[in-house]
Structure 1
Amino acid sequence: MKIGLHISDFTWDGGAPELRFKLGEIARRAEEAGVDRISVMDHLWQMPSLGPPEHEMLEAYTTLGWLAAKTERVKLLALVTAVGHRAPGLLAKAVTTLDVLSGGRAILGIGVGAGADESAGLGLPFPPAAERFERLEETLRIVKQMWSADEGPFDGKHYHLARTLNSPQVLSRPHPPILIGGGGEKKTLKLVARYANACNPAAVDLGDAARKLDVLRRHCAEEGRDYDQIEKTAGHRFDLGKNGEHVTKTIEHLHALAELGFTQTHGPLLHVSEPGQLDLFGEKVIPAAEKL
């Protein structure tokens, strides 16, 4: 099993003047520790579950560009891009740019999005869920077209592109991996089976995770897709304890996820801005996970 680091909180000592230095140092140390990928949220205000909206929050793709410059190996993604935050053509260009400037390390993480308050506050579209799913599917079709040799138009229900030219083209072949986030069993996991290279089903517990993978397997059969070709990623909040007292419990949970078929665990590390936590991560968790 591989481990990914999700950075969801930028409210650190020193505030905005020190933020770029701390973020760069975290990325460097995470890469040295053996992390497979680093992700950030595509939120513009902090999520209510993590803090008040006034807490620091960086725009996702600008941040990923900074992380690309500070690392050499880790894969980079938004977990996950909200479909309403960018027009599909612009999103394809943003991920392409990240892929080119990182040397082929971009992943497109995408979903229907959440956060009606921040969208309303900043004047971004946030239509009803049914329309967001329609826009998500059209966006997936558009980015795959832009990452191909087809420069023709795209004429959908919600999006109309006169020419899907994309130059320079991505370095990743055939295109950056597409990860769809969310565990909706009727729509989201069906889109995973149809379009994605990876899923992150946002399960609430191990039993829920197992059921969602069974649903995905059924959708793959209906779509004529090889279930084993889809990377299964699971979210996990890494709380190792100040002195590593929770490391064993963490490894046991990773083992349980691996038994279900997950090959990537991805989540925030509590107290990530404290160097000792990343040291524990690299010394204890990642070596154990690599054996699963």
Structure 2
Amino acid sequence: MRFGLFIPQGWRFDLVGIEPASQWPTIRALAQRVDRGTAWDSLWVYDHFHTTPKPSEEATHEAWSLMAGLGAATERIRLGQMCTCMAYRPPTYLAKVAATCDHISGGRIEMGIGAGWYEHEWRAYGYGFPRAGVRLGMLDEGVQIFKQAWETGEVNFSGQHYQVDGALVHPRPLQQPRIPLWIAGGGEKVTLKIAAKYADYTNFDGTPEGFARKSDLLRQHCADVGTDFDRIVRSSNYNSFIGRDEAEVAERRQAYIDRVRPHLNESQIAGQLGAFDNLPGTGTPEQIVENLRAMEKLGMTYAILYFPELAYDTSGLELFETEVIPALQS
């Protein structure tokens, strides 16, 4: 099993209390610490502009700016977004940005891409909020544009949502034939079909039941479009409160509550905790290993972890590195 790590960027209130001028140095230092080791294959950011679940004046650092900065600040680790929203930037422009970041990083960019969902953010930035079918159509066409741009260096495309006439994308990415594509999301009729057509990696529901269902549907879509299902790596994201025993897990959980309580109401906190409690990424090392082994048997071979305290405390990260990763890589 391979492992990715979300780096704090503020979107989930994970830089609160750190002065803005110190936030990038904090992000950079954490990335360099992880880059020096060998436990993690990749670092990830979210593509959002406002905090969640409540928009606020707390910082949210922009994803592709971070790609460029992290590309220059690290040497080994791969760099991705989970996931870039297709409609936030014209796809030809985004293909150009990603290609440049690939050069800055020495060929380490992963393109995580999805249709987007955060309606408040869309409207706040003037993008409107098209219905789901339109957003998914933009995703499908945008990925086709990426492939042209990266594989040939020129884009000519006439679609329902995008028209491109002779756009040149040079230099092409260092990675050939192109930057790897992660199609994120588990929409059963459309998103998974787009993944079947184009994805090198998928990212969807990380519960046993949900993962098994999405995998079966992806297999069916692959058969329909003539893709080899087994060539697509299936990944999931896991939020983690980890501790050496149940008491330490509870302490880490309470520390999170205390940190976000000034910013979120009780209902919002409960909603956030629902993405941790009784799910595969939370528990003691032994419990998490057991959970992820069960997921591996279902075909989940790439886990991307989020530790909400990472900007303040790396002890949970270190415990995961020493007790969980080696057990799942042996």
TM-score bracket for this pair, using the shorter chain length: over 0.9
Matched, 1:18 2:22: yes
1:201, 1:14 → 2: CA distance?
Answer: 32
CA displacement at 1:9 relative to structure 2: 4.8
Q: Which amino acid aligns with 1:89?
A: T
User: RMSD between aligned alpha carbons?
Assistant: 1.7
| Partner residue in 1 for 2:119 | 116
| TM-score normalised according to structure 2 size | 0.83
| Secondary structure of residue in 2 paired with 1:211 | helix
- The aligned counterpart of 1:38 is 43
Equivalent in the alignment of 1:80? 83
Q: Take 1:165 and 1:40, find their aligned partners in 2: how far apart are those partners?
A: 28
* Aligned 1:41-190 pairs, distance under 5 A: 41-48=46-53, 52-149=55-152, 151-190=154-193
Q: Return the TM-score normalized by structure 1.
A: 0.93
Q: 1:132 to 1:52 in 2, by over 3 A?
A: closer
Change (3 A) 1:233 1:280: same
**Pairing partner for 1:210 from 209, 212, 219:** 212
Secondary structure at the residue paired with 2:223?
A: helix
Local SS of the residue matching 1:131: helix
Q: Provide the residue aligned with 1:194 in structure 2.
A: 197
Considering Cα pairs closer than 8 Å and 6+ residues apart, tell me whether 1 or 2 has the greater RCO: 1
- In structure 1, C-alpha distance between the alignment counterparts of 2:96 and 2:165, rounded to whole Å: 15
* CA distance in structure 1 between the partners assigned to 2:92 and 2:157 by the alignment: 10
- Tell whether the 8 Å contact from 2:151 to 2:176 is kept in structure 1 after alignment: no
Aligned partners of 1:275, 1:3: CA distance in 2, in Å? 17
Percent identity of equivalent pairs: 34
State the partner residue of 1:258: 296
Residues 192/142 of structure 1: CA separation in 2 closer, same or farther (3 Å cut): same
- 1:270 aligned to which of 296, 308, 311: 308
**Comparing 13-22 and 3-12, the one that deviates more:** 3-12
Distance 1:226 1:173 in 2: 20
| 1:246 counterpart residue number | 284
C-alpha distance after superposition, 1:205-258 (max 9, x if no partner): 211110110111111111111111101101111221375772222111111111
Letter matched to residue 319 of structure 2: L
Task: After the TM superposition, list the runs of 4 or more consecutive aligned residues in structure 1 that deviate by more than 3 angstroms.
Answer: 242-245
Number of matched pairs: 288
Q: Is the 8 A contact 1:12 1:19 kept in 2?
A: no
Gaps of 5+ in 1: none
Distance 1:28 1:257 in 2: 29
Q: CA deviation at 1:150?
A: 6.0
User: 2:79, 2:17 → 1: CA distance?
Assistant: 25
